[in-house]
Amino acid sequence: MQNAKSKTRNKPSEDVLARRKVLKELFPVTGSVRAAQIVANLEIGASTWWLYVKDGRVKPPIKFGARVSVWDAEYIRGLAETGIPTKPKAAA
Please state which CATH number belongs to domain 28-82. Answer: 1.10.10
pLDDT confidence of residue 80: 92
The 3-state secondary structure of 22-68 reads HHHHCCCCCCEEEHHHHHHHHCCCHHHHHHHHHHCCCCCCEECCCCC
Predicted confidence (pLDDT) per residue in 50-89, tens digit: 999 999 999 999 999 999 999 999 999 999 999 999 987 7
In the chain, domain spans: 28-82
Q: What is the pTM of this model?
A: 0.74
